Structure 1
Amino acid sequence: MNAPRTPARALKSSAQRRRLTREANMSNETEVAERYHEQRPVFSSLAEIAATTLSALLRSRKVDFLAVSHRTKTLESVIEKVTRKDYADLSEMTDIAGIRVITYIESDVTRAAELVGTAFLVHTDKSVDKSEELSDDRFGYRSVHFVCELGDARIALPELAPFKGLTFEVQVRTVLQHAWAEIEHDRSYKFSGELPSVIRRRLNLLAGVLELADGEFGLLAYEVDEYTKRVQQSAKSGSLGEEELTSLSLLEYLKSGIDLPIATGQFSAKSTVVEDVIGELKLFGVDTVSGIKHLLTADFLAALMRHVPSTTVVGTFRRAMLFTDMERYFSQAWMKRWQGMSPETYGLLSERYGEATCCGQVISDTTI
């Protein structure tokens, strides 16, 4: 049995509708393109001003961040979104200008988000925390998105008046959230849509690992802060002695009023040289701050001042170990990070051990 034929008039009408739709779309795209080219310089300036303002605020409030970047949507991206969202006008888009803040840990995302709320006029009804959209058994894209205006106080400035009523988007995320977004979302690695269950499972596992790592970095940062506070409090209360010897505890010990009259130079807890000498001290058997006190005896400091007119804190500790037990230092603690011996140090050790011991037995055996 033959299927009923579609009337020619209906076919013609359908073709006309498709043609009219295409023409309407083309007309709309042309209008969007014209308005975009007119307004792009304004949105580009808006993005730069908002990013510069936010960067300055983050620094002034001591919020650690990796980067604050800004961009203006391309024409292709604008047309795609206007078409997909069926916007009637370009003004319905809220993210032509965009700013992205990348922090190291989640607690700084919170602090940065609070600054966004105080710095700009936030449209809370259009802003979203993407992590809240994930159910408790799902992992994936996590970032905080704000739709903002500069706000009345800033718009009152004559140079910012052209930006009145214009919106921009601020995204705040951690480094690991950014990595996931770049791979899964922004870089279009075809991870969206329907994937085979085996691949989707691996993708979810990866997202879960990144989320777990993000949380662990935040927890570690918190624990380091708490350790720092504890050591500083111990230094203030005079109970620093039993603290484990670390760069921080050593720094706090030196700041607590120890008198090293000939030590010069700035002591930095982050210096690799300091890390080296702490390693040597531990190999020498000094595991706590109180062990440092036992090295810096009155006899040593007096001899040091007689023979060495000027030295560093690190140099003082190394000479203290040599003065205490030169043979043990060279056999257990010396990591060969330094070579040679100054005449001043040689004089110090000769007074302590005698010329023969200093010159012959230990120094020649270690070939410094």
Structure 2
Amino acid sequence: MNNQIEFEKQYEKDKPMYYAWGKFVAEYVIYKLNLSQVEYDKLIKIPVEPRVKETASLVQKAFFRKKNYVDPYNEITDKVGVRFVVMVQNQIKEIADIVEQADIWSWSKDKDFEKMREERPEVFEYESVHYIVRADEAFKYNEIRIEKGTPCEIQIRTLEQHAYAELSHDYFYKSDVGIEKKMKRLLARSSALNETTDSLFGVVYDMIENEKEEYYKLNRELMCICEFPDYDEELNRSIYNNVKNMYEKYVMGKINLKEWIEEDIIDGIKRKSDNSLFRQPMILLIYYLLSERRKELLKTWEYTTDMLEPIADDLGVAIEPF
């Protein structure tokens, strides 16, 4: 279809179909994410909505850019797009796996920043994973028929990549004005910095996640020793953070708290359940540290010392001032 008027008419007619297909693609990926153990709010940082290309923008791309299309209407595959913006690079794979494993569409990679980085390691520029997915069969979605083979572009990028892409795409890629060498240089520098920041974000994120997993692992172990049905996550985590270094130094991988905790300690905890401190699983760890590392615990303890006195009474130890 090389007639501009016919092109515009056809696209206006097909716009609802493209939007419906984009909506379906977005909802399918979100549905699969929710089925997994990934926390959606922790992964997706910008609301996901299909974006249908404006008619004027599509016409410009089809007829006024040097793309050398033979059949522009069918060759342009980004009439509708869905963008997933994540926090760090290793989260990109979570969505990429869903796209590639779906049995309702065929897919191809339009852009793969990891491949581009391998082929041109000296170049710092637009980075993002782009897929084109096409409906395997015609079907109806929200009463709108989606034809077989209808394309949708999926972009997966980090927040850092998104910031760079928005600037470079809106002000440079679409611009008809020649870009000064100084601006190109500054843009390249910003891309290099973004890549470094992305990498550092990834390291910090992994450290945070590993630390969280250690907390949850310990908490599960403590709740197997004694039930704490009404514990306060915020308070419990705060106690853990206070003594985390001591736990890692003296307990983790060294002491089996289940074997160390005796029944009379558990009975004492249950009797004091009106005290919020004794409703937290981490109270078991505090019993051990107060018994075996009392001097260091008292120096580390950020709360009032009198909170430890009922524990000291159960253990038969004194809380000396240090």
Structure of higher RCO (CA pairs closer than 8 Å, 6+ residues apart): 2
Alignment match, 1:142: 127
Residue of structure 1 in register with 2:88 after alignment:
105
Unmatched tracts of structure 2, length 5 or more:
none
Q: Separation in 2 of the partners of 1:351 and 1:129?
A: 62
**Residue in structure 1 matched with residue 73 of structure 2 by the alignment:** 90
Q: Is the 8 A contact 2:17 2:145 kept in 1?
A: no
Contact 1:148–1:168 under 8 Å retained in 2: yes
Corresponding letter in the other structure for 1:150: A
- Does the aligned pair in 2 maintain the 1:180–1:207 contact within 8 Å? yes
Matched ranges for 1:128-277 at <5 A: 128-130=111-113, 132-133=115-116, 135-152=120-137, 155=138, 161-186=145-170, 194-197=179-182, 199-218=183-202, 247-248=215-216, 250-254=218-222, 257=224, 259-260=225-226, 263-266=228-231, 271-277=233-239
Matches within 5 A, 1:347-362: none
Deviations 1:316-337 (A, max 9, x none): 3587389759x9589623424x
Q: Residue deviations 1:191-215, cap 9 Å, x none? A: 9953334x54443232122223333
Q: Secondary structure at the match of 1:278?
A: helix
CA 1:274–1:306: 2 relative to 1, 3 Å? closer
- In structure 2, relative to structure 1, the CA distance for the partners of 1:350 and 1:180 (3 Å cut) is same
Shift of 1:96: 1.0
Q: Work out whether residues 78 and 152 of structure 2, in 8 Å CA contact, stay in contact via their aligned partners in 1.
A: yes
Structure 1 residue 301: Cα displacement: 1.0
Distance 1:110 1:137 in 2: 24
Report the Cα distance in structure 1 between the residues aligned to 2:131 and 2:10, rounded to whole angstroms. Answer: 24
Deviations 1:62-113 (A, max 9, x none): 4563153311111221122122246555343211111112233333323422
Aligned counterpart for 1:34 among listed residues 1, 6, 9: 9
Q: Structure 1 residues 281, 150: CA separation in 2 closer, same or farther (over 3 Å shift)?
A: same
Unaligned runs of 5+ in 1: 1-24, 232-245, 363-368
Q: Which moved more, 1:70-79 or 1:157-166?
A: 157-166
Q: Is the 8 A contact 2:21 2:146 kept in 1?
A: no
Alpha-carbon distance between aligned partners in 2 of 1:292 and 1:196, rounded to the nearest angstrom: 64
> Contact between 1:281 and 1:287, CA under 8 Å: does it hold in 2?
no
**What is the total number of aligned residue pairs between the two structures?**
302
Q: What is the aligned partner in structure 2 of residue 46 from structure 1?
A: 21
Across the aligned residues of Structure 1 and Structure 2, the Cα RMSD in angstroms comes to 4.5
TM-score for the superposition, normalised by structure 2: 0.70
- Residue of structure 1 in register with 2:268 after alignment: 304
